[in-house]
Copies of this chain bind each other. A is one copy, B any other.
Amino acid sequence: MKIAITGGGGFLARRLAGMLLTDPKVERVVLADVLPIEPFSRDRRIDLRATDVADPKAAAAAVEGADVIYHLAAVVSGQAEVEFDKGMRVNLDATRALLEAARGGGRRPKFVFTSSLAVFGPPFPAAISEWTAARPQSSYGSQKAMGELLVAEYSRRGFIDGRVLRLPTICVRPGKPNAAASSFVSGIIREPLHGEEAVCPVGRDLELWLSSPRTAVANLVHGALLGAEGLGPHPVVNLPGITVTVAEMIAALERVAGAAASARIVFEEVPAVKRIVSSWPARFDISRANALGFGRDPDFESLIRGFLADEGAGKTLTPF
């Protein structure tokens, strides 16, 4: 089995590749990213490529011969709001270029598109389901919603075997803050664990819909293994998450790492961030995801403990 992953330099993509490579049936994993990817494994089945998949020829080369395509490349929410045209190019045009490349290959590959809770906008029903209209209130959400329709349509036409997986906000992301409006969601846990101060740009009462990287990666693998027949004519799934407030996150951090950790969080409202993040829903009806066998994190503390287990080694974590 040959696999191609766009946005291959991202941490989810690298984790996904690592999990996929545990399967001996996987012959090759192409990781394509617009920036050169730092080698992260000695596995010879990995093929790292610096290429811009918004260019149709590059898209075709990246997915050539692939049985499974994971399209993870995206301009994140904060950046897409500031750089509208760049967001359109990467989040919409690259998706279309990849779908055209997959169609042109004539192999009807599995095409897993990572979408987002950002396709929804307020006011929200009591619980979001796959029946809820996409009413995005951010450029990122709009571009993802259009990408979803493209994937569903190319799949309906038989050009690909498409799957749209709407990810919750991932927490705890390792590494540095990024241009996502949700960057702080990981930052307010990660930085205090590293003994650093973190700014929380929203209030304590804001509800979030979160998934650990572990669960998200497992669900991305499951999303490709699933039979198309179970997905029906609308191949979209809201992946499971957990609903937590910022206050509950901080309380969990304190339970795991002590009051010294939670004391490193400083509240400074950032209206541009608050506006986008507040336009995302936090309460979902995940009966469809459950029926299809997708997994869920048990609670927020497990997200912190998972981060420590995955990222603790080799990092300068504050002793506690």
Instruction: Collect the chain B residues with CB atoms within 8 Å of residue A234's CB.
Output: 121, 133, 135
Instruction: Collect the chain B residues with CB atoms within 8 Å of residue A156's CB.
Output: 137, 142
In the assembled complex, A244 has its CB within 8 A of some CB on chain B? no
Q: How far is the CA of A143 from the CA of B156 in the complex (A)?
A: 13
Are B145 and A149 in contact, CB atoms less than 8 angstroms apart? yes
The stretch of A124-132, A172-180, A218-226 in contact with B is: A124-132
Q: How far is the CA of A135 from the CA of B233 in the complex (A)?
A: 9
Given A157-B84, A234-B121: A132 and B134 within 8 A (CB)? no
Counting every copy of the chain, the complex holds 2
Output the nearest chain B residue to A87 by Cβ-Cβ distance: B153
Query: Which of A134, A136, A145, A149 neighbours the largest number of chain B CB atoms within 10 Å of its CB?
Result: A149
In the assembled complex, A37 has its CB within 8 A of some CB on chain B? no
Instruction: Collect the chain B residues with CB atoms within 8 Å of residue A134's CB.
Output: 133-134, 149
Instruction: Collect the chain B residues with CB atoms within 8 Å of residue A135's CB.
Output: 152, 233-234
Are B125 and A131 in contact, CB atoms less than 8 angstroms apart? yes
Q: How far is the CA of A146 from the CA of B148 in the complex (A)?
A: 9
Given contact pairs A146-B149, A146-B150, enumerate 11 new A-B contacts (beta carbons under 8 Å). Answer: A121-B234, A122-B233, A131-B132, A131-B133, A133-B133, A133-B234, A134-B149, A139-B157, A142-B152, A145-B149, A146-B146
A: which residues have CB within 8 A of B?
A: 84, 121-122, 125, 130-137, 139, 142-143, 145-146, 149-150, 152-153, 156-157, 233-234
